[in-house]
């Protein structure tokens, strides 16, 4: 369940209270009169099932509470209550499958910002991937995959397209368009340095049998990208965000970007082109699959709302 806290102006508190009382998926309703100081007003709290959260948030926004007050949502790990169990039972659907769209927008918007930390993580991930490729170490390459933060901007682009949020598309595209070239440039400089100190020479890249998947593009490259994009978006929209680690390990975006820089510096243009193509295939596949999952989720949510209206009508 989710814990909902609303700071409501005095004149809208009654409407907020009635909204939550009318929602079968809401329970543990509490009204604290005059408890809010900034902004001033009352505090209304309730526990709401995931399946009902979206409708409740829509109702609160229709009352204007998000503009003149405030709405906070937190995940509850454990609830011991017959009332909560009843609320879960009366609302159609499974809480694990319910999508809270405002939560998805907030998470993808935050994860897609072009910040110093985002660029630092992406650059370090590319450097690790380059070292993993040079040393023919798949373990190091996998570590770079986990470290890479690029799924956030890709998810933001997909969410922005489906919800027609140009700000999310613009933010995610900017992070990718600036982040990858800068990280690749740093990786290229590091490659030149490795050459200079003798850690890398032209023959080093002749035997990369453990990491050749980075630049060898095939149908499975697209299939894996599609599956990873679908799994990643399912993890973001459901209550199973821990599954994202598996998604990070599946995609070859960071290793492909890193090895493209290494191969280009070493004059191995075929491998550089293959890595660049691998990067593009992964990015496109992830975004397309994420869009498909989001569209399916919206359709499923609309059907559940129709079922609720029929059952309460």
Domain extents in the chain: 2-91, 103-300
Q: What is the mean pLDDT of residues 244-261?
A: 82
pLDDT at 21 (0 to 100): 93
DSSP string, the chain: -EEEEEEE-HHHHHHHHHHHHH-TTEEEEEEEEEEEETTEEEEEEEEE-HHHHHHHHHHHHHTTHHHHSEEEEEE-S----HHHHHHHHHSSS-TTT---HHHHHHHHHHHT---HHHHHHHHHHHHHHHHHHHTT-HHHHHHHHHH--THHHHHHHHHHHHHT-HHHHHHHHHHHHHHHHHHHHHHHHHHHHHHHHTS--TTGGG--TTTGGGT---HHHHHHHHHHHHHHHHHHHSS-GGGHHHHHHH--HHHHHHHHHHHHHTT-HHHHHHHHHHHHHHHHHHHHHHHHHHHHHHHHHHHHHHHHHHHH-
pLDDT in tens, 181-201: 999 999 999 999 998 888 876
Q: Taking all residues of the chain, what is their mean pLDDT, rounded to a whole number?
A: 87
- Assign 308 a pLDDT band (cuts: 50, 70, 90): low
Burial group, residue 255, by CB count within 10 angstroms (0-12, 13-18, 19+): buried
Range scoring the smallest mean pLDDT among 30-34, 43-47, 144-148, 286-290: 144-148
Domain at 2-91: CATH architecture: 2-Layer Sandwich (3.30)
pLDDT at 238 (0 to 100): 76
Percent of all residues in the chain with a pLDDT value above 90, rounded to a whole number: 53
Q: What is the mean pLDDT of residues 100-112?
A: 83
pLDDT at 105 (0 to 100): 86
- Assign 78 a pLDDT band (cuts: 50, 70, 90): confident
Range scoring the smallest mean pLDDT among 11-15, 234-238, 254-258, 274-278: 234-238
Range scoring the smallest mean pLDDT among 20-24, 198-202, 222-226, 233-237: 198-202
- 129 has pLDDT over 60: yes
- Whole-prediction pTM: 0.81
pLDDT at 310 (0 to 100): 46
């Amino acid at each position: 369940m989710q814990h909902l806290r609303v700071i409501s102006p005095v004149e809208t508190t009654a409407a907020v209270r009635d909204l939550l009382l009318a929602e079968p998926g809401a329970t543990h309703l509490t009204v604290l009169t005059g408890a809010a100081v900034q902004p001033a007003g009352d505090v209304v709290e309730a526990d709401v099932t995931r399946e009902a959260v979206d409708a409740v948030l829509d109702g609160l926004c229709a009352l204007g509470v998000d503009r003149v007050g405030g709405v906070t949502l937190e995940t509850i790990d454990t609830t011991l209550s017959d009332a909560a169990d009843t609320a879960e039972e009366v609302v159609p659907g499974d809480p694990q499958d319910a999508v809270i769209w405002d939560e998805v927008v907030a998470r993808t918007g935050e994860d897609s910002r072009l910040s110093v930390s985002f660029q630092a993580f992406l650059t370090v991930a590319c450097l690790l991937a380059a070292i993993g490729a040079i040393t023919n170490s798949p373990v190091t390459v996998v570590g770079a995959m986990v470290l890479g933060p690029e799924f956030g901007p890709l998810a933001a682009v997909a969410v922005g397209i489906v919800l027609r949020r140009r700000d999310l598309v613009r933010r995610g595209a900017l992070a990718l368009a600036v982040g990858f070239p800068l990280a690749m440039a740093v990786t290229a400089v590091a490659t030149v340095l490795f050459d200079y100190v003798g850690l890398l020479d032209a023959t080093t890249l002749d035997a990369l049998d453990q990491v050749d998947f980075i630049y060898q593009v095939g149908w499975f490259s697209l299939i894996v990208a599609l599956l990873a994009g679908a799994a990643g978006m399912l993890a973001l929209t459901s209550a199973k965000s821990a599954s994202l680690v598996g998604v990070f390990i599946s995609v070859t975006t960071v290793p492909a970007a890193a090895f493209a820089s290494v191969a280009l510096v070493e004059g191995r243009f075929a491998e550089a082109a293959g890595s660049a193509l691998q990067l593009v295939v992964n990015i496109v596949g992830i975004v397309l699959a994420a869009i498909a999952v989001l569209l399916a989720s919206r359709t499923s949510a609309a059907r559940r709302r129709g079922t609720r209206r029929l059952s309460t009508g």
